[in-house]
Structure 1
C-alpha cells in the first residue's frame, strides 16, 4: 500500500520530468505570479506567523527552544518584501537549463554535446525559517527541479500559508505541471523521506549543526550543506585598524544567529595591545560576551567597565555559538592563524584584515574554506549578496557545489551524441576510422531547437 508521503514523492518525481522541459517564459510567468501572490496575501502570512511565534515564545520560556530559533522564525512586512524581491531577482537570472557546456566533433558528422539539465527531485528539510520556502521554490522552479519541503513544526502555520500561496500561483500558469512542489509536515515523515533514494536525487538540510549532521548520517541520498558555521576573522600585523574594527564588529554583531557570523577573532600579537581594548569596548557595548585565551585576557582584564570577559577553554575554539559570544586568541604569525582556522574551523567563511599583499595572497591560498574574505565582513557569504538571486543553502562540500549555492548547485548535465547511423565497429580493427576530437564552437540549440 502506498503511503501518503510516498504518493507525494512519486507525484513530484513524475512532475520533475515535465518541469525539466518547461520553457523560460512559462517559468518566469509562474515566478511573477508567485511574487504577486505573496504581496496580495500578506495578512494571511503574518497571521499564520503570529500563531507560530506565540507558541515558540512559550517553548523558549520553558527552555525548549533557543532565542536564535525564535528570531529566525519571525516574519514581518520587511521579510515578505525580501521574499518578493528574491523571486523577482530569480526571474532576471538567465535560464540555466539546456545550456551547451561543451561541444566536440568525434568525427565528421558525429558530434557530442554536454548540456546542462536539472537534477530532478530535490528534498529540502529545514528548521524555523519560513523564508526558505520562496527562496528554494523559486530557484528550483527556474532550474526545472521538483521539490518536496519538510519544515520544522515550530513554523508549521507559516510554512503552510506561504507554500499554499506559492503553489496555487505557480499552477495557475498554463504549462506548469501539477504536483511538482510538495509539503510534508509531520516529524515521522522525515525518516521515510530519508529512505527514498530511489526517487529523491538531492537533499538540502537547513538548520542547526545537530540537525544537519543527523540528516547526513541517516540517508543514502546525496546531501548538500554544512553541519557547522565556525567562522573566523584574523586581524593581521599589517591591518588598518579602522577597517578591522568595522569588519569584525559587523561579522559578529550584524546578525549573530546565522552560520556566516564569526565565532572566533584571531589577532596578531604585534597589534593586539593597540587593537583589542577598543575592539573589546565595541563588542561589550553591543552585548557580546568574550571568551579570551591567556594573552588576550591579560590585556583585557584591566579594561574598565567591560561587563563580560572570561577565559576560553579548548572547547570554545570549536564551538558555534550562534549568539552574542566570541572567542578571542592572540597569534604570533599569519601561519599560526591559518593553522588555527584550518584545524578548528568548519571551512565555511573566514576573513583576513590586512594591507599586506603577500599575507593577503597567503591567506587566500592556504585557508581551506568555501568563502575567503579580504578586508570584508564574513556576513557577505550569502547567495543573494553573491548575485545568485537567492540561495538554496551554503555548502562546505568539495564536490558538486561549494559556498553559497544558487541555481548552479541545482544543475547537472547530460551528454547528447548526434550522428547519422554511426557505429563503433567502424572505429575498431586494422582499418579503423580515426576520431578527430575537434572542439566545436556551436550550441546544440542551433541544431535541435524547433521554432
Structure 2
C-alpha cells in the first residue's frame, strides 16, 4: 500500500467518523450483535486461517525467532472464538458513552452551558500477536462512535484478515458507514501513520515494551499505552498465607504471556520461611522458572536473581522473588522497579493495605486479589483497546469512556458578551444544576 493509499484510507475514516457519531446507540448496538453472530457463524474459516499463522509461528519458534508466549497469544480455538463473540456482545450492551451530559451550569437566565461526551474521532491502533485484539478494538471503536485504523502484526496476518472481513461485512449489512474501520498490513504503513498528526486523533499501541516505546518516540500524535508490565505481588507479614499462595500462583500461571501477569513476588521476612517453600513447590509443578535474591535462596533452592530481573517483563513462566523487611521496603521496590501498571498487596491489615494502595503510583492497585484482574472485560468495561500507564486522559484498562472526550454546548437566547462587560456589567450566576443537554430547549420554551 502506498502512502497515498494510506492518506486516502485515513481521509475516508475521518468522514466515516462524523457519520458514525450521528448514529443512535440502537444502531451501533445492532451492528455489534450482527458482528458477534457473524464471527460465531464463520468459526471454521477463522480457525483455518489462524492455523496458517500458528504453523508459521511454530516454525519460527523452533528457529528461536518467536517465543512460546507469542505463539500462545496467537493461537485461537473454538472456545476463544466464543469468548470473542461474547466480548462483542458485552460491548454492545454497555451504556451508551456518547451524548452524556457531564456537567451543566447556568451562566445567566436562559444562558446554559453543557459539557457533553463525544467521540475522539479517528483512533489508530498498532498491535502484535493477538487476533482478538483486532476485534476488541473494532468493537469498542464502533460502540464509542470512533473510526479505527487497525494494524496487526505479520505473525497474525491471515487471522486478522478474516476477522476484519467478517467485521466489515457484518457492519456494512447493518448500515454502518463505509470506511469506519480500516485494515493496513505493511510495516512501512505504520511510519506513514505516525506522521499523520493532523488526521489521526489518538494512537493506541499494544505489544512489547520496545514496540510501544518506538511508537511513542516517533510521533507527535497523542499516545495511550504502556511500555512495560512489570507487576508485583507483595505478601505482607499480616497476610493469610493460603490466600497469598493462591493469588501469587494465579497472577503468574493463569496466563503468563500478558502484561498484567506478576513478574516479581515480594515476601515479608517474617513469613518468608513458612511461605516460600509452599509457593516455590507450587510454581515448580507448573514449570515456573524461579529466580531469587540472596535471602530467598537461603530458604529455598532456586536460581540466583540478577539486578536486571527486577526490571524485566518476562511474559513467560518466570518469576523473581525478593525477601524484604517492611511494608515501606515493598513500596520502595515497586516505586523503583515497577512500570505503573498493576500491583497487589496481600494482607489482613486494613491500615497497611491502605498505605500500600495510596502510596503506589500505578494505574491499578489491588488488595487481596490477583494482578490478572487488571483487564477491561473483568472491570466491566466490555473490553479494552489497551492498558494506559500514563495519567493524561485515560488510565488503566481503556474502555468506552477512555475513547471519548467532550465538548461544550452553550444554549442561549440572544445574549451578548457586552452585557457582561464594563461599568454596568451584569454578573454571571455560574450556578451548577442537574440537567441534560436538549438541543433547542430554550427556543422551544
What CA distance in whole angstroms lies between the structure 1 residues aligned with 2:96 and 2:225? 24
Q: 1:406 to 1:326 in 2, by over 3 A?
A: same
Is 1:323 equivalent to 2:319 in the alignment? no
Is 1:108 equivalent to 2:109 in the alignment? yes
Between the two proteins, the alignment pairs up a number of residues equal to 443
Q: Report SS of the residue matched to 2:345.
A: strand
What CA distance in whole angstroms lies between the structure 1 residues aligned with 2:435 and 2:367? 39
- For residues 137-173 of structure 1, give each alpha carbon's deviation from its aligned partner in whole angstroms, at most 9, with x where no partner exists: 1111011000010000110110010001011101112
For residues 66-85 of structure 1, the aligned pairs below 5 Å read: 66-85=67-86
Q: Report SS of the residue matched to 2:284.
A: helix
- For residues 112-147 of structure 1, give each alpha carbon's deviation from its aligned partner in whole angstroms, at most 9, with x where no partner exists: 000000000000100011101111111110110000
Residue number in structure 1 paired with 2:19: 18
For residues 167-182 of structure 1, the aligned pairs below 5 Å read: 167-174=168-175, 176-182=176-182
Residue number in structure 2 paired with 1:156: 157
- For residues 376-398 of structure 1, give each alpha carbon's deviation from its aligned partner in whole angstroms, at most 9, with x where no partner exists: 11111100000011111111011
What CA distance in whole angstroms lies between the structure 1 residues aligned with 2:325 and 2:6? 56
Q: Report SS of the residue matched to 1:155.
A: helix
What CA distance in whole angstroms lies between the structure 2 residues aligned with 1:313 and 1:369? 24
Is 1:424 equivalent to 2:406 in the alignment? no
Residue number in structure 2 paired with 1:211: 211
Query: Normalising by structure 2, what TM-score?
Result: 0.98
Aligned to 2:358, which of 365, 369, 376? 365
What CA distance in whole angstroms lies between the structure 1 residues aligned with 2:46 and 2:321? 41
Residue number in structure 2 paired with 1:407: 400
> How big is the shift at 1:335?
0.3
What CA distance in whole angstroms lies between the structure 2 residues aligned with 1:449 and 1:272? 68
Residue number in structure 1 paired with 2:427: 434
Residue number in structure 2 paired with 1:356: 349
For residues 18-417 of structure 1, the aligned pairs below 5 Å read: 18-174=19-175, 176-301=176-301, 309-417=302-410
- For residues 178-203 of structure 1, give each alpha carbon's deviation from its aligned partner in whole angstroms, at most 9, with x where no partner exists: 11110000111110011111100000
- The answer for unaligned runs of 5 or more in structure 2 is none
> How big is the shift at 1:445?
3.0
What CA distance in whole angstroms lies between the structure 1 residues aligned with 2:56 and 2:438? 53
> How big is the shift at 1:447?
5.0
- The answer for unaligned runs of 5 or more in structure 1 is 302-308
Query: Normalising by structure 1, what TM-score?
Result: 0.96
What CA distance in whole angstroms lies between the structure 2 residues aligned with 1:98 and 1:214? 35
What CA distance in whole angstroms lies between the structure 2 residues aligned with 1:448 and 1:376? 48
> How big is the shift at 1:2?
6.7
- For residues 222-267 of structure 1, give each alpha carbon's deviation from its aligned partner in whole angstroms, at most 9, with x where no partner exists: 1111010000000001011110110000011111111011100100
